[in-house]
Structure formats: C-alpha cells, structure tokens
Amino acid sequence: MAEAFNIVVFAAYLIGAVLPLAFYKNNRINIPIAYTFSLIASTAGIAASLVALVSMTVTKIELFSSPIFGVVSVSLDSLSAFFLLTVSVVSFAVSIYAPPYMTKTAGKRSAGGFGALYNLFLLSLVLVVSIDNAFYFLVFWELMTLTSYFLVVFHYKQRETARAGYQYLVMTHVGTAFILFSFLALSVHSGSFSFAGFKEAQASLPMGLKNVIFISALLGFSTKAGLVPLHVWLPRAHPAAPSHVSALMSSVMIKTGIYGLIRVLFDFLSPAPWWWGLLVLILAVVSAVLGVMYALMEHDIKRLLAYHSVENVGIIMIGVGFAVIFSSLGFKTAALLSLTAGLFHLINHAIFKGLLFLTAGSIQYATGTKNIEDLGGLIKRMPITAALFLVGSLAISAIPPFNGFASEWLLFQSILQANLIGDVSLRIISLLSVPALALTGGLAAACFVKAFGITFLSIPRSARATDAKEVPAPMLIGMSILGLLCLILGIGAAAFIKIPWRVAESFIGKTYEMPAFNTLLLRLPDKLGHASASLSMVAVLLVISAMLSILLIRLRGRRSVIKGPTWDCGIPEITPRMQYSATAFTKPLRTVFSAIYQPRRQIEVDHEASPYFSHALSYEASLYPVFERQLYRRFINTLVRVARRARVIQAGNINLYLAYIFATLVGLLVFVWR
Amino acid sequence: MELLSTKIAVVLGHALFVVLIAPLFTALMKKVKAYFQCRRGPGLLQGYYDIWKLLKKDAVVSEHASWVFKAAPYIIFSATFTAAMIVPSFIAVLPTSAFGDAIVVIYLLGLARFFTALAGLDTGSSFGGMGSSREMMISSLAEPVTMTGIFVLAADVGSTNFSDIVAKSLSMGYAQPAYILLALAFLIIAMAETSRIPVDNPATHLELTMVHEAMILEYTGRDLALIEWAGAMKLTLLLTIIANVFFPWGIAQSISRPAIVIGITAITIKLILLAVGIATIESSIAKLRLFRVPELIGGAFALAMLALIIKVTGLG
C-alpha cells in the first residue's frame, strides 16, 4: 500500500521536475504543470506516511543496487514517515497556494526553471528523510541545499538577495562538511554505508570517537536547523526567497536538521551520555530566548518570522534534549513524553509557520512590501488573510485552544519530570528551562500582537496599504488548509498524540502507557502525575460562555451602536502618524533588554544659521549584531590575517615552487623508507 | 447518574459563584482606598450597579475599528470565565479542573490579554497603542515568574492540576519556607497582572500612569461592561489561587451540603481579607515609574527562583 503511494510520490516529483522545462517560455503552462505534479506527489506522500504510521510497519523500496555502497533503498520507518507527513502536509497547502503567487512574482521572467527546481527540492526533502544509506543521504542533502539555494536567489539581481544566498551556501556547506565527517567516521568504524550497518556497530564504538561524532553531527545538523549561534544565515535567506519557498524552507527544510540529529542521537549513537542532552538543552534554550528576542525587534515581516523559526527550533530541541537526558538516566516514560512533545511541536511549527509565511506572502502580493511599518488597516481590505494570520499568531504564541499550545503544554509537563533526576544541580539547570520557555511564550505573544496589530489594524500608513485587495482564491485555499489544521491539531491533540508517541517508542522502547486517556482529554501516563488538559472542552467552554454573554446583553435590551471618530485629545483629525508604530511598540522591551540588544541610534540635525532652528532631522536606530560582530567577524578577521601571513610562501618565483616540490618529494621518500 | 448530576450542579454553582461574587471585590478595594484617603467611597454594591448600568447603554464604536475591536469583549469575557471555571474556589475536587491545569489557566488569561492588546491597537489612538505596548512588556516579564511558581507548587504533587495542588497543600501544610517566598512572589504578580498600584493605576486616566485603562479607553456601554466584569473576575481568580494554595483552610473536600456552605463562607472571607490587604498596600505605596517595574518583577522572579531551589534541593 505505502509502496505504491511512495512510487507515485517519486514519479510525480520527477515529472514535475522535467515537464515545466519543456514549456520553458510559457508561464501560463509551466506554472500549473509544476504545481499540479507537486500537489499529486504531496497527496500521495500524505497517504503513504499515514499508511506507514497507522500500520507501524517499515516500508522498503529498493531503488538500485550499487557495487560500492550496497543496495540503496528508501525505507519508511516511523520517524521517516513522520517527517514525510510533515513535508507532505505543508507542501500540499503550498502547492495550492503557489500558482497565482508565482505568476505575479515571475512577471515576464520564465518560471519554468523555478517550477522544476521546486519539484526537485521537494523530492530531495522526501529522499533525505527516507533514504537509509549514508552516502546517498549526503547526496540528497547536497541536492536539497543546492536546489534551495537556487530557489532563494530567484531575485538574484537584488544585491541583498545575492548576498543572502551566498552566505547561506557557505554556512550550509560548512555544516555539510561536519555531517560528512561524522558519517565517514561511522562508516569507517562499521565498514558499511547503510544506516542498518551503523546501528549494528554502535555497541562497539569507543566513547571518545562517539563524542567526536556527536559534536560534529551536532554542529552540522544544527547549522541546518538554525540553532544559535549557527543561525545567522536563516534570517537572511528565508526572507529573500519567494514566499512559498520561504514557507517550505522555514517549516520543512530546517526540520531535516532535527531529523538528522534525532537519527544520530537515538539510532546510531545510543545509549547517549546525559551531558549530550544537557548540551543540546542549553543550546536549545539559548536559541529559543534569543530567537524570539531578535524577532521582536524586526519589522520586516518575513525576517520576523524567520527569527521565530530559530525560537521554535529551540523549543523543539528542548524536547529532544530532555529526551536524551531522561533516557540516559533510565526514565523511559519521561523520555518518551519529552520526545513526543518535541515531535508534536515540530509538526505544529511546520503548520503554523507555513501558514504565517504564506500570509506574509499574501501581504507582499497585495501591497508589494514586507515592512510592517508601511502597512496598517489591512483587516478591512484583506479580511480572510487577516483572520488566517490571526489564527497563526495565536497558534505560535501558544494560546489555547490552538496547536502550538498543545505541544508546549506537553513540553512543560515533560520538563516537570525533571524532578525525577537524582542529581540536584542537573535538576536545577534543567528546571531553568521553565522560566526560559515561559519568557519565550510571553515575548512571542508581544511580538505577534505587534505583527498583527501594526499590519492589519487601525489606519493604513501608506497608499500601498490603502489600495490593497484580497488575494486570489487558490492562495486563500492554501492558507485556509493550514489554518484549519492549526485548530484541528489543537482541539484534537489527544487523538493525534498517539502518532508522535509511537514514533518516540520506536527509539526508546515500548511502555504500556500513553498520554491520551481518551480522545477528549489529554492526560499524562499515570506514572508521570495526573495533570490533564482538554483543549476540546476548553473550546466548548469558551463558546458556551461567549454565547451566554451575548445572550445576557440581548436580554438587557439591544441598544444602538453609534459610529464616531476615535478620541484624539481635541486635535481636529486623527492621522496615521499618530498611531503607535512597530518601533514604538517594542520600545519598552528594547529598553528593558538593552544589555542584549545594545541599541544604537544616530541623530543628525541640519541647521542653517542658528542651532536652535533646525530644518532637517535624520534619525537612525539599529541594534548591535552580537553574533555577527563578536563571533563571525572575529573568526573571519583571524582567517584573513592567517591568510596574509601564509601569502609569504607564495612569492611568485618559479624556482621557489620547484624547491617546494623537491622538498616535498624528499620528505615523502624519507617517510616511505623509514 | 446521580453522581453526574451532582457534579453538574457543583460546576454550575461554581460558575455562578465566580461570576456573581467578582464585582464585589473591585468595589470593596475602592472603599478601602477611599477610607485611607478620608473619603466615604462607593457602596459595596457599586460594582454591580456599574455593570448593570453599562449593559443598558448605547455603545460608541470608532469608525476605524474592525471586527477585532467588537469581538474582543466577548473573547476576553469568555476566556477569563473559562479560566475561572478551572480553578477550584470553594470545593477542592472541582470536576472541571480535569479540563485544564495551571498552565491552561495562565495561557487562557494570555488569550484574554492578547485580544485586549489588539483592541488597544485597533482604533488608531496613540493611547491604545501605548497601553498595549506596556501591557505586553509587563506580562511577558511576569510570565516566567508565574510559571516558575507553578513548578514549585507542582514539584511536591507531581502534577500541575489545581485540585491536586490544593489537596496537597491541605495535607502537607502550607507553612513551608518555599511557600512563604512564593506567596510573596505571587502577590507581586497578582498586583501587576490586575493593574494595581505599584505597576499601574486603575483610577486615573493620565498617560504617565495608564496601562490597562489606556487599552480599553475606547470602549463604551455593554462592551465596557463585559471588560470590567472580566477584569473583576481576573482579580478574583488570582486572589482565589493565592487564597486556596497558601491558605487552604475550610475548602470543601467532598460534595456534601455542609462542607460546601463552609467552603463558600471560607473562600469569601479569605478573598475579602486579601482584597483589603492589597488595597492597604496600594494605599501605602507610590506607583513606580514604568522602567522600575522590571526591577519589581525581577524581585518576584528572584523569590520564585529561590523557592524553586529550596524545593528542589529538599531544604523545605
């Protein structure tokens, strides 16, 4: 069953990657073709992964047999199926959304190559999460990186885009080098390239090598996932791409980093020592807090969302980190709960971040700008987009009854299990993630009050916002699917939780308890306490009490509603310039956290004769980019300095070079003789 | 079957209790503050009169406002009410407390706050934006304190369920060092969250002092009635949590008529005492500058962290 669907997935993506090129010139043909095939493929992908997850069998399809690397097969075990589900759900909605957006973005340029690359990118994503051979994993990993690079630099003529793309390419390749190293080390040790071989050899791995492999894999995969301090490419590359690609990159592609890390941690290197988990946890907590803090100060809506990806990857990794700590200390049920929470948040983030990036795309489509300071009042011009953005905002701010809350609730519950840990200092350090996660939630809410309020509410601040119109139907449908899923996964969390729980069980081992007591009540396993939450009942209570309050008002007599201007302190008319701007909104938090932001401002006053009569004022505010300056800039400077020193040996004299060659030869001969 | 019907009766009675008693405390606090200012102050039923009067009035809505502004009062009211339904007030084993735990309560209040802040931005008034901005700053700083506190409470019980926490508090004793520190932290947070004096001044309409009032400045008539009522419920809810966790005396532990009567009397008295206490504190200190508020909340955070460390290390 799943095999058949899987073959449809590969076939449709491959056709979608070739056919648009045949109609390269004509955007009216190549755009529908590209997205129709990706739609077919992602539908099949949803079916394949659901079949695999429900039946809990490993599906294997042999692709080809190669003499060096062994039989290459696509194997859909539960973790792969879970990631395939995530990829397919998001790409399904994105493929519906994309055609009108792409038609406008491409303009007179051909979208044929873009459509082909889009399908190839999705194919590589699917293969990365389902291939079971390290060599081909790296091949498809590279394919994923390269296709996404070309998708990012679609507007390559803009200087900023080209730079962002270049930085992305460099960072991600350094990451790939680390992954390559850890996989090579594993394959040298196990004598095989297949994941199954890695798994068999793990028992005989010496601890020192294990640590090295782990650190290198952590560096490599967390570059892709965007963990602090390796996140710097992310807020540049995501906004540069066309919005539907940003949605895919942010909600799906960075998750492949987490996929790799989970594979390495739980499949290749288990049992892991507890300090690995602690390291992951610390990185995760720092990412979560710093991600949301930088998001808060960002007024480019897509950059803002990109920083929130850093935050949410942090939240997911908190779950993974706790899972490692718990499982190495032998608390199986607690480890299961943490990994479940992480995986659940992963799919939730994919859905709401996908939704938010698509709505950001719609804003860009309708107004031509990403800067929220220029917008305002869009709720009356784009009501459906506004409602969907609101749903996404509530979900990402972890507000019940939406899906973001469901997974954060589980995560809080799994952090509570830190009380099981015997070592007091480790327990306290682990529990510090509570205030961190709570601060993240609070700041995310502040950030999305800003993002929604400044973009959609009150009076338009520019002509672009005034003239905005609702986006075409396919875009609305694509967004609505994800918006609906935000609600369904929230209210139906208790029913859905079985799926990530089973995925976690496949690594940590079975227990006979599951978090869900019944489909309405999300209840912890008995071993872990009696806390329960029922987002469906909360939703029912919310609706009932809202209806009662409406009824109360009706009974008291419905009076008229008078429309009037906003109170403006007696000034003749309220203008957009009097409203709060995004900068003003975040000013208090910028002041409170000035130690982290280190805000700078530059004010220049032009005056003609007397300094008391200024006639022009220029004001510029910026934050100090700590990581770029303190970490990367220093690294680059050192590198440049070393390179300059090294230049001495390259004097340009042929004789000297011959002498080098001679010296090397002599050296080698001595080495061989010895 | 009979059990189910008694459960439903308890839930309905609890809902009615929360909704009806809430406006009493806002008036009571005004009365106490008036006493300290040598005024007579409003009657104790003034809160009810105000809501009843506002419900009957015409509403004036800004022409710039969108549906968010109109829907916000209902959402704020129902979110606060739902949160209040989950927290046990006069009976420890409240059936609805299975629907959600402490975390759900905190984030439901977050839902109400989210929409209050959006409504503040919706009309385009600069006061509204200012209020939203300040409110989101204060609440995002307060949230870590609250959650840390809840984890201290949950540490003993192994559960974040309010019924369990209250039951444990009854059996374990409440005079533990960790709980004393935590009670202080919670008191500070409760005052920040309900816009009380060191953080916010609900009695004035000055741009220097307003936080909560600035956000709801544009509301009139029945919309304002719902928001005021929700505000009163939030105050009652936070006081109930403090009362039942740290002073769980008299709370009914079973569904029997005498126990419930004692429970209702006990919680009412405890709430009155807390409200009078808070109003006394309010009358005796000055409002802080906005950027001094983080220091106050930082103090509360230090207390909560200390409580957590004491609890985790097993010192108390």
Question: pLDDT tens-digit profile of B15-57?
Answer: 999 999 999 999 999 999 999 999 998 899 999 999 999 998 8
Distance CA B182, CA A131 (A): 52
Candidates B70, B101, B216, B291: best to mutate against A (most CBs of A within 10 A) is: B101
Beta bridge partners of A66: A70
ipTM of model: 0.96
CB of A389 less than 8 A from some CB of B: no
| Residue A476: strand, helix, or coil | helix
Residues of B in contact with A285 (CB under 8 A): none
Residues of B in contact with A526 (CB under 8 A): none
Q: Are A406 and A344 in contact (CB under 8 A)?
A: yes
Instruction: State the nearest Cα–Cα gap between B135 and chain A, in angstroms.
Output: 9
Q: What is the chain B residue with the closest CA to A381?
A: B66
CB of B147 less than 8 A from some CB of A: yes
Distance CA A476, CA A189 (A): 52
Beta bridge partners of A97: none
For B285, the token pair is 């200190």
Check CB contact under 8 Å for A400 and B159.
no
CB of B291 less than 8 A from some CB of A: yes
Check CB contact under 8 Å for B114 and A563.
no
pLDDT tens figures, B157-195: 888 999 888 888 888 766 788 899 999 999 999 999 998
For A581, the token pair is 């701007």
Check CB contact under 8 Å for B82 and A434.
no
- Closest to B142 (Cα-Cα) out of B211, B103, B189: B189
For A40, the token pair is 């077919």
CB of A443 less than 8 A from some CB of B: yes
pLDDT of residue B1: 60
pLDDT tens figures, A152-188: 999 888 998 999 999 999 999 999 999 999 999 999 9
How far is the first Cα of chain B from the last one, in angstroms, to the nearest whole number? Answer: 44
User: Bigger pLDDT: B76 or A629?
Assistant: B76
Taking a contact as any Cβ pair under 8 Å apart, which residues of chain B between 88 and 117 contact chain A?
96, 98-101, 103-104, 107-108, 110-111, 113-114, 117
Residues of B in contact with A458 (CB under 8 A): 64, 121-124
How far is the first Cα of chain A from the last one, in angstroms, to the nearest whole number? Answer: 62
Widest CA span in chain A = 105
pLDDT tens figures, A404-455: 999 999 999 999 999 888 889 999 999 999 999 999 999 999 999 999 999 9
Q: What average pLDDT does the structure give for chain B? A: 91
For B149, the token pair is 């506190």
Q: What is the chain A residue with the closest CA to B136?
A: A446
pLDDT of residue A517: 62
Distance CA A93, CA A98 (A): 9
Q: How far from A559 is each of A551, A556, B57, B59, CA to CA, in Å? A: 14, 9, 7, 7
pTM: 0.95
Average of per-residue pLDDT across A461-473? 93
Distance CA A256, CA A539 (A): 33
User: Bigger pLDDT: B285 or A516?
Assistant: B285
For B24, the token pair is 């009493």
Residues of B in contact with A573 (CB under 8 A): none
